[in-house]
Structure 1
Amino acid sequence: MSRILFINSVCNGSTGMICKNLYKVAVEAGHECCIAYGRGEAPEGFNTIKIGNQLDIYLHVLKARMFDASGFGSKHATKEFIKRIEEFKPDIIHLHNIHGYYVNIEILFKYLKEHPEIKKIWTLHDCWAFTGHCPHFEYDKCMQWKTGCKKCVRTKKYPRSLVDKCNRNYQLKKKIFTDVNNLILVSPSNWLMNLVKKSFLSNYEIQTIKNGINIDIFNQSNEKINTSIDLNNKKIILGVASIWDDSKGLNEFIELSKKITNDYIIILIGKLNNKHIKQFNNIYNVSNINDSRELAKWYLAAYVFFNPTKGEAFGLTNYEAQACGTPVVTFDAGGTSETIINKNSFLIKGLNEFEQLIKNTAFYKLNLCVEERNCFSIHNTIKKYLDNYKEDNQ
């Protein structure tokens, strides 16, 4: 059996949940595992390594803001982390999100190149690895990454910067991320895989392994939601995001709140600045829910799940809602088209289409059979990753 080190920016959120699920199943299969992370708190019951501290993150953020250097801070923290890697002695290093102001990519990948005997798997949850700045570019229709980023159109968006150094970043990433022996890339969608094949990462083996969810939690047998919000038998239009901003469709929800009738109420789950919703009576915010079972109750209570995202590599929330039998309406952005399984769900281009659907379509719960629920199951994801963890694949 193998010693597996997972590396991700966080232990919570969608990518953190993926890491934890893989950790659990790998341990059950006999592997020894550890999760290295940069931000937030470590969950109980997991072997973890915290990379750096809060001051390291602040300094990394400052460097990124001032010099467009996301991924190039945290030098001391990463050197100390390398020592912890050497103590753990992994056979497999499974990378997830390495952006997020917590690790230095030059130092980390220098170590990876110096150890060809370690099998590396890198799950790309967005496009940051092969651009000079951004994790998502489809909303801005920017295709510079194909030939080399020259002038960034997204410096004011994550990872925000006062200056534009996208050309330098692109060239550095190309040098750092290529020519790594024993590396396999994984994409959660065919959409992202096809982009990677057109990038400077195209020489690597790349697999599509779609994300999955725990269908023992996200299903149609959950209890009713207990909330202090006066729902008053209104139809819930639900939105879910870790952090709400325009990239996740916050502006669309605000516009929608001005147009829907009193028959509806908008519930947004996730971190949201209250200044955005004070003036709108029919938008309510529920702070981040770390309990998946509580989140599943909201999906089940919703009339429709609306996901006006500007860009997703996959769109796991779409899976979660549909597994609860709730119809999904999602913008056709990135890999979201690959998440629509429920026949009462829709891909749309813009807010106007959603407004027309609300007026003219009767959404209804879809009673899923076992085979339909299994389409969403994380066991499909885990089985494919476990195949990659096998020693005979190293």
Structure 2
Amino acid sequence: MNIAQINVVASLSTGRIATTLSRMIIDGGHRAVFCYSREKAPSDIPSIYIGNSFDTFTHALLTRLTDRAGFYSKRATKKLVKQLMAFKPDIIHLHNIHGYYLHLPTLFEYITQADIPVVWTLHDCWAYTGHCAYYTMAVGAPPVDGTKRRSKEHVGCDRWLGGCGNCVLKRSYPSSLFVDQSAKNWNDKRRLFTKVPHMVLTTPSEWLRSEVKRSYLAKYPVYALPNGIDLDVFKPCNDETFMEQVARRYEIDKIGDRHLVISVAAVWDERKGLDDLIDLAEMLGDEYCVMAIGLDESQIQSLPKRTVLGSRRTGNVNDLCALYTAAEVYVSLSREETMGMTLVEALACGTQVLCYDATAMPEIVTKKVGEVVEVGDIEAAANRVREMCDNPRDAADCRERSQAYENGKRFDAYMQLYEKMYRSSPQFQKELERAKYVK
């Protein structure tokens, strides 16, 4: 089979998922090409770079003025289509097709007319809304009481069920400064996406699957296939010398005998709960050191230095595993996740976890490996962290829980899906008839 994957980034979370899958496709004896728009693709994977930085900038700028993300970059998408036609994909696997790099009508016209089977992994909610990628909390809502802190109340927006319009999250990603085109976007996306003749959808959690089944994409089969993790990479770090080096590099060698609690995000936007993490650190007190990894420089400078230790992205998975291993508790106070991959990474490194009872995260955390607390209940979170430090879960149990998300299992599931889609495709049926005729 020839399998083409399309994703906005080549690394970070969704990029790492897509490139790992491409590598496994090739190792399985098939042809793969990975199409992307940002960062650098691994050199061992055949890849197609979509557009350029100027095109992305222009698309993003026009989106801010018109609220029409996904309806620019026509020239770049036409070039991509020509390259895909040369590759002759049997399956196209879509990941995040938002991010200011694709012209949706051009891409979906090609897919529909060529009748190519599609597997679409939804990593967020953007595919079935008129604007936003997430809608269960008030990201971008006006500050509360004149402070810089944002409202923690959930929007509870369900306008995507019937057409969007009057968007309360207009300024959230993909941000629009003036215009609200959410109703038009919703109708155009529904028209384009639901024309695809042969498509199955996958989600990384049962929570997101249940949301998709309420949307205009419900006509297609939807499977919950959690993202995979490389357990040969994410594992407890037992190299004491390296652990000491990492401790010095990230200044955790200075915390003394305080309990280390960490939280990781690729981008610390409002969904990820940095404000709540700061509140947790203040409530835990001086016996604990709370560390936030993945911050930008301005966020690091704004931290209360006495209670929270901030770090930029590690950029090195070995360092990250060492930090997971060093922590007594990993916490995720995110209010909206379609899976919660950092929870799995921490568990793979033998570290117990705590998360909010929000969206998909509770699907990962069992009582044997961690705790789940009500959203926004910082006092409960602090109490659970103290209890977990006093009576830690068994590291072996944490590692065992992560094995449910092992890469090989996820790859096998996708290969079965590819095979099923390919064998039911018109192209395969034509080849089958041709083979019978030759015989």
Q: Same fold (TM over 0.5)?
A: yes
Residue 28 (structure 2) pairs with residue 4 (structure 1): no
Report the count of equivalent residues: 392
Q: Say which is worse superposed, 54-63 or 264-273, in terms of deviation.
A: 264-273
Larger proportion of strand: 1
Residue type at the aligned position of 1:54: S
Aligned pairs (5 A) from 1:226-305:
226-228=247-249, 229=251, 230-275=254-299, 277-281=301-305, 282-305=307-330
Aligned with residue 320 of structure 1, among 340, 345, 356:
345
Match of 1:217 in 2: 233
Q: Say which is worse superposed, 375-384 or 226-235, in terms of deviation.
A: 226-235
Structure 2 residue matching 1:257: 3-state secondary structure: helix
Q: Say which is worse superposed, 302-311 or 332-341, in terms of deviation.
A: 332-341
Q: Taking structure 1 as reference, are residues 72 and 272 closer, same or farther at Cα in structure 2, changes over 3 Å only?
A: same
Runs (5+) with no aligned partner, structure 1: none
Query: Conserved in 2, the CA contact under 8 Å of 1:329 and 1:346?
Result: yes
Distance 1:376 1:232 in 2: 34
Match of 2:95 in 1: 96
Aligned with residue 128 of structure 2, among 127, 130, 141:
130
> What TM-score, normalized by structure 1, do the two folds share?
0.94
Distance 2:299 2:345 in 1: 28
Match of 1:185 in 2: 201
Distance 1:315 1:251 in 2: 18
Q: CA deviation at 1:322?
A: 1.2
Residue type at the aligned position of 1:392: R
Give per-residue Cα distances to partners, 1:340-383, cap 9 Å, x unaligned.
14614111222232122234443525232685442231211111
Q: CA deviation at 1:286?
A: 2.4
Q: Taking structure 1 as reference, are residues 312 and 5 closer, same or farther at Cα in structure 2, changes over 3 Å only?
A: same
Query: Conserved in 1, the CA contact under 8 Å of 2:2 and 2:32?
Result: yes
Structure 2 residue matching 1:258: 3-state secondary structure: helix
Query: Conserved in 1, the CA contact under 8 Å of 2:297 and 2:312?
Result: no
Residue type at the aligned position of 1:159: P
Residue type at the aligned position of 1:380: K
Q: Say which is worse superposed, 177-186 or 354-363, in terms of deviation.
A: 354-363
Residue type at the aligned position of 2:259: K
Match of 1:115 in 2: 114
Give per-residue Cα distances to partners, 1:119-149, cap 9 Å, x unaligned.
2100001110000111111222111111121
Give per-residue Cα distances to partners, 1:307-350, cap 9 Å, x unaligned.
11121111111111112221111112211121114614111222
Percentage of identical aligned residues: 33
Residue 382 (structure 2) pairs with residue 355 (structure 1): yes
Cα-Cα RMSD: 1.8
Residue type at the aligned position of 2:222: I
Distance 2:205 2:49 in 1: 29
Match of 2:423 in 1: 392
Larger proportion of helix: 2
Match of 1:15 in 2: 14
> What TM-score, normalized by structure 2, do the two folds share?
0.85
Q: Taking structure 1 as reference, are residues 234 and 393 closer, same or farther at Cα in structure 2, changes over 3 Å only?
A: farther
Distance 1:291 1:30 in 2: 30
Runs (5+) with no aligned partner, structure 2: 138-154, 426-439
Name which one, 1 or 2, has greater alpha-carbon Rg.
2
Match of 2:152 in 1: none
Residue type at the aligned position of 2:248: T
Match of 2:143 in 1: none
Q: CA deviation at 1:67?
A: 1.1
Query: Conserved in 2, the CA contact under 8 Å of 1:271 and 1:287?
Result: yes
